């Protein structure tokens, strides 16, 4: 595993922050887009761009709905995204341990 490259989808700094935040949620939980945006201090456009890339990779699901007449968007980490993040963490840990040798 140490010779495998780090997942480029997750490795981008902003996407890493998104995935790490979503991974901290209980499996099956979702977070509202405005809440995630505020937690990460990202613009709506920037967050949307990174979410789209994560969605294309199958790492997140974006649920668009309405609460009354108001549109609402919720984001959830998929099982595939959770596995990818776990693997990313394992690879990064191995890489860092190897650097200290």
Residue 17 falls within a domain, yes or no?
yes
Residue 81 falls within a domain, yes or no?
yes
Residue 67 falls within a domain, yes or no?
yes
Give me the number of domains the chain comprises: 1
Q: What is the CATH number of the domain that holds 22?
A: 1.10.10.10
**Between these two residues, 2 and 81, which has the higher pLDDT value?**
81
Residue 33 falls within a domain, yes or no?
yes
Alpha-carbon distances of 82 from 12, 46, 53, rounded to whole Å? 16, 22, 15
**Can you give the residue range of the structural domain that contains 82?**
8-95
Residue 101 falls within a domain, yes or no?
no
Each residue's pLDDT tens digit, 40-74: 999 999 999 999 999 999 999 999 999 999 999 99
Residue 22 falls within a domain, yes or no?
yes
Residue 48 falls within a domain, yes or no?
yes
pTM: 0.90
């Amino acid at each position: 595993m140490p010779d495998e490259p780090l997942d480029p989808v997750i490795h981008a700094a902003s996407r890493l922050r998104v995935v790490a935040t979503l991974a901290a949620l209980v499996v099956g939980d979702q977070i509202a887009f405005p809440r995630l945006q505020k937690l990460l201090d990202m613009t709506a456009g920037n967050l949307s761009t990174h979410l789209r890339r994560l969605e294309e990779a199958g790492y997140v699901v974006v649920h668009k709905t309405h609460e009354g007449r108001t549109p609402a968007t919720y984001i959830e980490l998929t099982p595939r995204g959770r596995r990818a993040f776990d693997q990313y963490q394992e690879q990064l840990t191995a890489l860092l341990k190897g650097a200290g040798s």
